Amino acid sequence: MSEVKESPVVLRWSRHPRQVARAREALRASLAAWGLSSVRDSAELVLSELLTNAGRHARVSPGREIETRFIPVSGGVRIEVHDASEVPPVTRQPSPGATDGRGLLIVAALAQSWGSEERKGPGKFVWAHVMAEEAGRAR
């Protein structure tokens, strides 16, 4: 998956749940500028799940921010969510009546690929590639 010439969008967010909506707005604007509005719905949902997980589960020190990176790639976007926690994300199999635990299952269903990696500094980042249907079929 190759990156395109547009610059990535790097933003920082507090752990407050209201930041998720603001991050979606920033992603929506970036996708429109890059001509990638066709992936908007899936990309926004993937970002929401990853950012919500970081805010809920990262357990980072107060004052630490969560960083998002939106990187245009050929036919789609790479979404990264960076936090200072060393704990990798874990996909769960929630019971039918559970009210949470489906976030990474949603990410896996909507993204062409996703994963987690260590950062050079403290913590990790979780990434996902959300591709336009045409680009996904070309693989």
pTM value is 0.87
| CATH of 9-138 given 3.30.565.10, 3.40.50.10190, 3.90.700.10, 3.40.50.300 | 3.30.565.10
Pairwise CA distance, residues 134 & 25, whole Å: 24
Residue type at 8?
P
List pLDDT tens digits, range 17-29: 899 999 999 999 9
Sheet holding 113-118, edge to edge: 9-13, 66-73, 76-83, 124-131, 113-118
**Residue 75 confidence (pLDDT):** 93
Task: Return the domain boundaries, the chain.
Answer: 9-138
List pLDDT tens digits, range 39-86: 999 999 999 999 999 988 776 666 678 999 999 999 999 999 999 888
